[in-house]
């Protein structure tokens, strides 16, 4: 993530805006209006929406305070429209040229009439659209029954020829402008939005960045009370280009992602800019005969109680709601649940590609979704309702979780294995960054760290390979990683006092006379560090990856002693400990903020205690307590090296929760919820997260919060979605990509392995089988397993088979009990409400074997203690030692 810095300029004082920059007509004032549920402002001249607050609340979902920077032509707002059309007769084979229309391109006043035919404001947009257009567009702002705000467009063909409308989009705007805002202000005023590109069920969820307070949702507006299917599908969500780059808002940057539009028709784009890309939905167009018109509309609704209420608000608008459990990433050989709530019955469900998925009805509105035999990758279900609505649900099919993890281990330690011991930088042997498009290891990159085995971008690959051993060791892979530790990590990446360098590759030809730097790269950029800059040891983030690597090898050495040849477990645990302590010294920067992946520090602390290393445990605890105490005193403790991002939350949550700073821990959970909505298509989120690995790491926050409060299943839904993301990044051959590009002209995986590693840390530390009671009654989902399949036996005993990618962690929500093992797998477990638990341990075929595992029992949300009652098991390291010579069933009961 490191390497691209945005220079933030402080806000200019709010001087009067120059005439030339006021194409919106701000100087002529606003119309302040209200519906039952909202207070809103339209610009009088342009009639676009620029402020939207829930009634009786001062929170604005739109950037009204930055409006003066967004008043020029080409800057979009709610109420704008873009389209492409051609004469229908020119379509087809000769593919007539599409003609563009855009209400923001060259604004002219379109002062509307108020209170005409039930609308708040009605405007004919002709003046602000290209002249000579056959399209006559009328826009109405309305109060929808129930008090919501409606936005309606009537598009009439007033020409003489039939026309084909090949694109139609409604620009959206939210206050996602972080630019120039101090952290506390950003947390207070901004919001983040996520689309569900699901045709008639499509909608946009908008959550305040602080994570609590009212949330907003934009759904299709049903036009005409009697026809439920007369609504506006979301066929695509297109990123809008704005040509004005200004430093006040920094459109399209790390601090302001930019805006999108709700696209109803996309054929004209699919034929051109997006050709060759597999879109979310089938591209369509509409033909309008002379005199014919089309009506579309959107509806704004508020969820007063916040993000957890969004599903029920969406349903109340007549929009179908889908809830996928455990989410939308399904492993081959397992099935997912899909719960559909709609006012109309399901008429048919089909898969695209055909056969990729099968949906089997199990009860009203409840389907089991199963991947077809060899299906892999993206697939969607198309659900046709009796009232004519079409809903699409997007899935990603992965290999069975443990198999994908095994593939990753193999790929990273073979294809990514760099063994050129003549390398003058001392990088061999190691697991290096890989370029999947070139099918080659990245041995040079002007971002030196990417080829320099440090930073997220360069350490990511060996980090993932090592963490894989912690959850599923392989003798051959462990041997290679041990040679990496002795030959590179504990030799060149680290110095003898445990410092971690920022990169061991550098650009300084005089220092490596025989080495040929690629002349086609630009090495003059500031991030092409020379040796001294590369060897700096002052970035705390880099230490986490190293500590995690040692910890993973400690776990292997401890649970599978036959697999490590170079060192015993105590060496690796001490290396992990010393590396953390070194990172906390005053010559290292960023150690006062939360660090990506530092949940592993907590694992290291727990293992020091279990090993009886009391004095080391106490020093580490002391050091973490200082940080947690500081965060507890800060209004917004989520600092980072970037202007704004979401990398600090995981560490802040871990330690404030650990030390019992309840309010700060809760504030952190809310902050994570603010940017991780329970989205439908998993894939968009990967890119719409400002940092892709934020998905895997921040899910650790939500999963932990769920373990402390299993009544809040929303935490699990969002957290489990996030922790599944890193599984979908693993390709069929085991290569794992850093991220997925979600803009509609790309829709594909990144070619670099890059900083995937931290995402895999999230998978390794968070994956498990989680049982949750999701409520009964109408629309209730009942008792459910995420990452497993659950059965309730006659008599009430609940039996669960695990299927998550790790299979070593089980959380039984209704009992508040967490079970963990350090070797083998938990193949299944069962429990009774009274507290008797039975858990079966075994070893996966094709994976290294060992003699015994340690089983730990924790009760994060129960005041009842549990103990092992199976005779003959011995206590070990704070848990119980379970022999694994055959499958072992362990009985546990409350005391
Ligand atoms: C567009 O349609 C509106 C509403 O029917 C009508 O009042 C207006 O005159 C039309 N505009 C033009 C330029 O024909
Ligand atoms: C309802 O509206 C849809 C979409 O505009 C249209 O296709 C359908 O024919 C309409 N049905 C009725 C009964 O009017
Ligand atoms: C390096 O790895 C390649 C591919 O695995 C192998 O063919 C080669 O023999 C190795 N070279 C050394 C010096 O180990
Ligand atoms: C549970 O265990 C803890 C720690 O050993 C102990 O302090 C506590 O009293 C126990 N509670 C019950 C109900 O036995």
Residue corresponding to tokens 């603010």: 674
pLDDT per position as a tens digit, 179-188: 998 888 888 9
Sign of the C-alpha dihedral computed for residues 373, 376, 379 and 381 taken in this order: positive
Protein residue closest via CA to atom 13 of ligand 2 = 227
Q: Using one digit for the tens of pLDDT, what is the confidence trace for 398-421?
A: 999 999 999 999 999 999 999 999
Residue nearest to atom 11 of ligand 1 (CA): 136
State the distance from the centre of ligand 1 to the C-alpha of 156, rounded, in angstroms: 9
> Distance between CA atoms of 501 and 499, rounded to whole angstroms?
7
Taking a C-beta distance cutoff of 8 angstroms, is the pair 638, 630 a contact?
A: no
From atom 3 of ligand 4, which residue's Cα is the shortest distance away? 865
- What's the token pair of residue 217? 């949702």
Q: How far is the centre of ligand 4, averaged over its atoms, from the C-alpha of 158 (Å)?
A: 79
Return d(Cα 31, Cα 700) in angstroms, integer. 45
Written as six digits, the tokens of 113 are: 């009439």
Is 344's C-beta closer than 6 angstroms to any atom of ligand 2? no
- Residue from 108, 110, 119, 126 to probe ligand 1 pocket by mutation (most atoms less than 8 Å from CB): 126
| Low-confidence stretches of the chain (pLDDT beneath 50) | 1-15, 94, 679-691
**According to the model, what pLDDT value does residue 572 have?**
98
Could you tell me the two tokens for 183? 């952290």
pLDDT > 70: percent of the chain: 94
Residues 563 and 712: their CA atoms lie apart, in Å, by 41
Residues 6+ away with beta carbon under 8 Å from 307 = 205, 207, 211, 215, 673, 674, 677, 678, 714
**230 CB near ligand 2 (under 6 Å):** yes
Ligand at minimal distance from the CA of 124 is: 1
Ligand 4 pocket test: pick from 835, 865, 866, 878 the residue with the most ligand atoms within 8 Å of its Cβ. Answer: 865
Q: For residues 645 and 643, what is the distance between their CA atoms, to the nearest angstrom?
A: 7
What per-residue confidence (pLDDT) applies to 744?
A: 82
Nearest CA to ligand 4 atom 1: 865
In angstroms, rounded to a whole number, what is the distance separating the alpha carbons of residues 243 and 591? 39
Q: Which of 300, 132, 154 is nearest to 221 (CA)?
A: 300
| Residue of minimum CA distance from atom 7 in ligand 1 | 124
Alpha carbons 47 and 26: distance in angstroms, whole number: 11
pLDDT value at residue 825: 98
Residue 250 is given by DSSP the state -
- Indicate if ligand 1 lies below 6 Å from the C-beta of 124: yes
**Ligand 1 center to 158 CA (angstroms):** 9
Cα–Cα distance, 535 to 533 (Å, whole number): 5
Q: Are 679 and 714 in contact (CB under 8 A)?
A: no
Helix (H) or strand (E) holding 828: strand 825-831
Q: DSSP strand E in 356-503: where? A: 357-363, 366-371, 377-385, 390-398, 417-418, 430-431, 434-435, 440-441
Q: Are 598 and 654 in contact (CB under 8 A)?
A: yes
Q: Measured from the CA of 863, which atom of ligand 4 is nearest?
A: 13
pTM for the predicted model, two decimal places: 0.92
Handedness of CA 339, 340, 346, 348 (dihedral sign): negative
Q: If you measure from the C-alpha of residue 506 to the centroid of ligand 3, how many angstroms do you get, rounded to a whole number?
A: 24
Q: Relative to the alpha carbon of 480, which ligand is closest?
A: 3
Helix, strand or coil, per DSSP, at residue 368: strand
Computed from CA positions of residues 546, 552, 558, 561, in that sequence, does the dihedral angle turn out positive or negative? negative
Q: Which atom of ligand 1 is nearest to the CA of 136?
A: 1
| Sheet-wide strand order for 788-792 | 788-792, 798-802, 825-831, 837-842, 888-894, 866-868
Q: Ligand 1 centre and the CA of 138: distance in Å? A: 8
Residue whose CA lies nearest to ligand 4 atom number 11: 865
Six-digit token string for 28 = 């002529």
- Are 685 and 694 contacting, i.e. CB atoms less than 8 angstroms apart? no
Q: Is the CB of 51 under 6 A from ligand 1?
A: no
Give, for 602, the enclosing helix (H) or strand (E): helix 599-610
Question: Ligand 3 centroid vs 10 CA: distance in angstroms?
Answer: 54
Judged on CB neighbours under 10 Å (0-12, 13-18, 19+), 298 is buried
* Cβ–Cβ < 8 Å for 299, 217: no
For position 745, what pLDDT does the model report? Answer: 82
Three-state DSSP at 328 gives coil
Which pLDDT does position 446 carry in this prediction? 95
Q: What is the pLDDT of residue 673?
A: 85
Residue 681 confidence (pLDDT): 37
Q: Domains in the chain, ordered, with CATH? A: 16-319 (2.70.98), 322-398 (2.60.40.3440), 401-767 (1.50.10), 771-894 (2.60.40)
* % of the chain surpassing 90 pLDDT: 80
pLDDT at 702: 95
């Amino acid at each position: 993530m490191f390497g691209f810095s945005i220079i933030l300029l402080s806000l200019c004082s709010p001087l009067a805006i120059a005439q030339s920059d006021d194409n919106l007509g701000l100087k002529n004032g606003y119309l302040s209006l209200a519906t039952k549920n909202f207070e809103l402002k339209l610009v009088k001249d342009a009639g676009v929406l620029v402020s939207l607050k829930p009634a009786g609340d001062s929170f604005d979902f739109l950037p009204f305070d930055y409006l003066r920077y967004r008043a020029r032509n080409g800057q979009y707002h709610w109420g704008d429209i873009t389209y492409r059309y051609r004469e229908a007769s020119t379509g087809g084979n000769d593919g007539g040229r599409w003609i563009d229309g855009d209400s923001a391109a060259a604004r002219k006043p379109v002062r509307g009439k108020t209170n005409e035919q039930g609308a708040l404001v009605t405007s004919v947009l002709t003046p602000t659209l290209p002249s000579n257009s056959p399209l006559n567009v009328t826009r109405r702002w309305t109060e929808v029954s129930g008090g919501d705000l409606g936005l309606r467009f009537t598009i009439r063909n007033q020409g003489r020829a039939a026309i084909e409308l090949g694109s139609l989009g409604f620009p959206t705007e939210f206050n996602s402008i972080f630019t120039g805002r101090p952290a506390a202000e950003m947390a207070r005023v901004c919001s983040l939005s996520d689309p569900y590109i699901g045709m008639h069920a499509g909608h946009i969820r908008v959550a305040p960045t602080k994570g609590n307070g009212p949330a907003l949702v934009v759904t299709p507006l049903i036009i005409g009370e009697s026809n439920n299917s007369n609504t506006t599908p979301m066929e695509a969500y297109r990123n809008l280009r704005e040509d004005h780059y200004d430093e006040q808002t920094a459109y399209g940057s790390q601090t302001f992602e930019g805006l999108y539009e709700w696209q109803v028709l996309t054929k004209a784009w699919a034929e051109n800019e997006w050709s060759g890309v597999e879109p979310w939905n089938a591209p369509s167009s509409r033909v309008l005969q002379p005199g014919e018109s089309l009506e579309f509309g959107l509806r704004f609704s508020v969820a007063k109680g916040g993000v957890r209420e969004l599903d029920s608000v969406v349903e109340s608008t007549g929009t179908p709601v889908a809830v996928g459990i455990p989410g939308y990433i399904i492993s081959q050989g397992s099935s997912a649940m899909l719960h559909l709530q709609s006012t109309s019955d399901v008429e048919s469900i089909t898969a695209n590609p055909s056969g990729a998925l099968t949906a089997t009805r199990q009860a009203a509105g409840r389907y089991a979704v199963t991947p077809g035999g060899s299906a892999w990758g993206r697939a969607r279900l198309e659900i046709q309702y009796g009232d004519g609505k079409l809903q699409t649900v997007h899935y990603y099919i992965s290999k069975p979780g443990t198999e994908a993890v095994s593939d990753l281990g193999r790929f990273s330690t073979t294809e990514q294995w760099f063994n050129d011991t003549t390398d003058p930088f001392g990088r061999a042997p190691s697991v290096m960054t890989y370029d999947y498009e070139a099918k080659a290891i990245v041995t040079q990159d002007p971002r030196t760290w990417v080829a320099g085995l440090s930073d997220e971008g360069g350490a990511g690959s060996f980090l993932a390979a090592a963490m894989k051993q912690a959850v599923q060791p392989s003798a051959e892979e462990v041997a290679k990683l041990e040679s990496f530790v002795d030959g590179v990590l504990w030799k060149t990446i680290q110095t003898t006092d445990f410092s971690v360098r920022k990169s061991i590759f550098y650009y300084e030809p005089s220092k490596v006379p025989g080495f040929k730097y690629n002349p086609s790269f630009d090495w003059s950029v500031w991030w092409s560090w020379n040796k001294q800059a590369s060897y700096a040891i002052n970035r705390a983030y880099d230490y986490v990856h190293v500590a995690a690597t040692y910890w993973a090898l400690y776990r292997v050495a401890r649970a599978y002693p036959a697999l490590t040849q170079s060192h015993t477990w105590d060496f690796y645990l001490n290396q992990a400990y010393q590396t953390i302590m070194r990172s906390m010294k005053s010559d290292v920067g960023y150690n006062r903020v939360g660090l990506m992946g530092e949940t592993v520090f907590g694992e290291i602390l727990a293992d020091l205690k279990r090993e009886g290393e009391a004095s080391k445990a106490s020093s580490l605890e002391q050091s973490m307590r200082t940080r947690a105490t500081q965060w507890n005193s800060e209004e917004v403790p989520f600092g980072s090296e970037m202007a704004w991002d979401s990398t600090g939350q995981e560490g802040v949550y871990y330690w404030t929760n650990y030390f019992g700073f309840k309010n700060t821990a809760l504030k952190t959970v809310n902050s994570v919820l603010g940017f991780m909505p329970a989205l439908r298509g998993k894939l968009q989120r990967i890119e719409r997260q400002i940092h892709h690995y934020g998905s895997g790491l921040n899910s650790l926050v939500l999963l932990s919060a769920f373990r402390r409060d299993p009544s809040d299943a929303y935490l699990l839904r969002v957290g489990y979605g996030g922790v599944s993301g890193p599984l979908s990044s693993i390709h069929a051959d085991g290569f794992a990509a850093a991220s997925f590009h979600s803009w509609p002209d790309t829709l594909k995986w990144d070619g670099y392995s890059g900083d995937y590693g931290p995402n895999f840390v999230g998978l390794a530390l968070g994956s498990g089988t989680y049982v949750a009671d999701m409520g009964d009654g109408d629309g209730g989902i009942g008792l459910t397993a995420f990452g497993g399949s659950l059965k309730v036996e006659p008599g009430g005993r609940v039996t669960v088979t695990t299927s998550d990618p790790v299979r070593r962690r089980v959380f039984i929500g209704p009992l508040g009990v967490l079970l963990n093992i350090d070797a083998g797998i938990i193949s299944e477990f069962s429990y009774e409400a009274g507290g008797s638990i039975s858990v079966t341990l075994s070893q996966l075929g094709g994976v290294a074997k060992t003699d015994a595992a340690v089983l730990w029992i924790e009760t994060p949300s129960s005041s009842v203690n549990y103990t092992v009652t199976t005779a003959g098991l011995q206590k070990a390291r704070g848990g119980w030692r379970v022999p694994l010579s055959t499958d072992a069933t362990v009985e546990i009961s409350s005391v």
